[in-house]
């Protein structure tokens, strides 16, 4: 495929992590048009950042193992993290305080909130069990956990037995991703090479789909409601984007059951994300490559190649206003790439002018 002349906007590089970054996720859009970026890292220290600039806001201290996934709640007041220390944790995003420890019996790989409810959270992982925790109903005895800074934080420890399991016996390998669809009664799990649609009321699998290979990423791609329109890919509803083997897949509809497109690549894919309004796909290459490639949705033409990372790109996410996207890599960095014309965030002059001073683990700042 022919490569068009790329825009060459200089990315912002977010430092601070000391090990690979397997997952990044943006918050919904806040009332003041701001938003946040949360990153999971194998160093065990998930980080919260300003979504527009990449500037560091805080680090959630308390996990004792690699953090595989991190997400912000629909109202952005809490964050959920999934860890190799056999726990998922719920944090207060304003204070950094640990609110709940969800104690499991094996590594937790995946967490998810419903689209409009910050009091429920789903978890999955090496136990091969999909569980739903209702945080409003769980009031176990309070335990005291110590952060590395020496401050004692009172947090409720909730055993996995307090949650309810759905899709019992359906998963034969680790659950790596959970997506809660726009229909709050349907959740989608990614396990090995299979997607499963699970109905909450009946707690049973209602559909499954075997893909080209092991699933590397499985995420909803959605703009904030005020930025969506019927002319977008998916007609304004979230689009499920999945990378598996050497293929990328996209599903739309209220329950993400309508297959919109699948594209076979000539390389193994690690991650994928979609800009539904700009009709653009960003694909992270798997080992041994270190590039992210950008394609046009309509004809599959490659329009850009991002060569800034020094390891595979494990996660790609678009901001809720669609004006930038971020990539998380094995190299321990997050890069933010401009996806709009004119001034935005720390990009002050379009292509070109940039300096590389970094402050407090935040993004490299661009000069005006």
Residue 51 pLDDT > 50: yes
- Whether 324 maps to a domain, the answer reads yes
Cβ atoms of 39 and 47 closer than 8 Å:
yes
In this prediction the pTM is 0.89
Q: What's the confidence (pLDDT) of residue 148? A: 43
Distance CA 239, CA 192 (A): 21
Q: What's the confidence (pLDDT) of residue 151? A: 44
pLDDT digits (tens, 9 = 90+) for 281-305: 999 999 999 999 999 999 999 999 9
DSSP track, 108-152:
EEEEE--TT-SSEEEEEETT--EEEEETTT----EEEEE-TTS-E
pLDDT digits (tens, 9 = 90+) for 236-269: 999 999 999 999 999 999 999 999 999 999 999 9
Number of domains in the chain: 1
| Residue 106: pLDDT band with limits 50, 70, 90 | very high
| Residue 139: pLDDT band with limits 50, 70, 90 | low
- Whether 110 maps to a domain, the answer reads yes
Cβ atoms of 58 and 96 closer than 8 Å:
yes
- The rounded Cα 150 to chain-centroid distance in angstroms is 30
- The rounded Cα 292 to chain-centroid distance in angstroms is 16
Average pLDDT along the chain: 89
| Residue 153: pLDDT band with limits 50, 70, 90 | very low
**Cis ω before 288 (30° cut-off from 0):** yes
Distance CA 139, CA 117 (A): 19
Residue 89: other Cβ atoms inside 10 A: 26
Percent of the chain at pLDDT exceeding 70: 88
- Whether 359 maps to a domain, the answer reads no
Q: Domain limits at 119?
A: 12-338
Q: For residues 211 and 141, which has the higher predicted lDDT (pLDDT)?
A: 211
Q: What's the confidence (pLDDT) of residue 137? A: 80
Residue 228: other Cβ atoms inside 10 A: 18
Residue 357 pLDDT > 80: no
Listed in sequence order, the residues at least 6 apart from 80 whose beta carbon sits closer than 8 Å to its beta carbon are 70, 71, 73, 88, 89, 90, 91, 111, 112, 113, 121
| Residue 132: pLDDT band with limits 50, 70, 90 | very high
Q: For residues 341 and 125, which has the higher predicted lDDT (pLDDT)?
A: 125
Q: What's the confidence (pLDDT) of residue 138? A: 67
- Whether 294 maps to a domain, the answer reads yes
Distance CA 247, CA 262 (A): 7
What separation in angstroms does the CA of 97 have from each of 62, 78, 152? 10, 10, 10
What count of residues does the chain have?
Answer: 368
Residue 125 pLDDT > 50: yes
| Residue 31: pLDDT band with limits 50, 70, 90 | confident
Cβ atoms of 80 and 111 closer than 8 Å:
yes
| Residue 335: pLDDT band with limits 50, 70, 90 | very high
- Whether 90 maps to a domain, the answer reads yes
- Whether 356 maps to a domain, the answer reads no
Per the structure block, which two tokens stand in for 172?
């034969």
Long-range contacts of 91-95 (CB under 8 A, 24+ apart): 91/60, 93/36, 93/48
- Whether 57 maps to a domain, the answer reads yes
Distance CA 341, CA 92 (A): 35
Q: Dihedral of CA 314/319/320/321: which sign?
A: negative
DSSP track, 181-193:
-SSTTEEEEEETT
Distance CA 143, CA 135 (A): 16
Helix (H, G, I), strand (E, B) or coil at 109: strand
Q: Dihedral of CA 306/310/312/314: which sign?
A: negative
Residue 53 pLDDT > 60: yes
Per the structure block, which two tokens stand in for 141?
């005895």
Q: What's the confidence (pLDDT) of residue 349? A: 54
- Whether 354 maps to a domain, the answer reads no
**CATH number of the domain that 44 lies in?**
2.130.10.10
């Amino acid at each position: 495929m022919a490569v068009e002349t790329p825009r060459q906007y200089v990315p912002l590089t977010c430092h601070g992590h000391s090990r690979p970054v397997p997952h990044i996720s943006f918050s919904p859009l806040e009332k003041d048009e701001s938003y946040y970026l949360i990153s999971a890292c194998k160093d065990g220290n998930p980080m919260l950042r300003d979504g527009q600039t990449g500037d560091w806001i805080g680090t959630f201290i308390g996990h004792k193992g690699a953090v595989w996934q991190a997400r912000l709640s629909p109202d952005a007041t809490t964050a959920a993290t999934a860890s190799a220390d056999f726990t998922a944790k719920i944090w207060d995003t304003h204070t950094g305080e640990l609110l709940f420890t969800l104690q499991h019996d094996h590594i937790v790989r995946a967490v998810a909130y419903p689209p409009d409810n910050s009091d429920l959270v789903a978890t999955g992982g090496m136990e091969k069990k999909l569980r739903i925790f209702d945080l409003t109903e769980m009031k176990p005895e309070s335990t005291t956990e110590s952060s590395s800074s020496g401050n004692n934080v009172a947090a409720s420890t909730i055993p996995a037995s307090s949650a309810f399991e759905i899709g019992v016996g359906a998963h034969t390998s680790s659950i790596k991703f959970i997506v809660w669809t726009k229909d709050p009664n349907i959740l989608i799990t990614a396990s090995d090479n299979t997607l499963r649609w699970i109905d909450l009321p009946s707690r049973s699998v209602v559909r499954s789909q075997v893909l080209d290979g092991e699933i590397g990423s499985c995420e909803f791609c959605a703009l904030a409601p005020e930025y969506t329109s019927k002319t977008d890919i998916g007609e304004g509803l979230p689009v499920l984007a999945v990378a598996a083997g050497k293929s990328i897949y996209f599903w739309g509809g209220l329950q993400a059951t309508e297959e919109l497109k699948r594209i076979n690549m000539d390389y193994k894919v690690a991650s994928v994300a979609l800009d539904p309004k700009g009709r653009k796909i960003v694909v992270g290459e798997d080992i041994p490559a270190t590039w992210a490639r950008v394609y046009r949705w309509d004809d599959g033409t490659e329009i850009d190649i991002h060569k800034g990372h020094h390891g595979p790109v494990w996660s790609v996410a678009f901001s809720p206003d669609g004006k930038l996207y971020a990539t998380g890599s094995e190299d321990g960095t997050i890069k933010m790439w401009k996806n709009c014309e004119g001034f935005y965030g720390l990009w002050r002059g379009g292509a070109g002018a940039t300096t590389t001073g970094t402050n407090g683990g935040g993004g490299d700042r661009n000069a005006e």
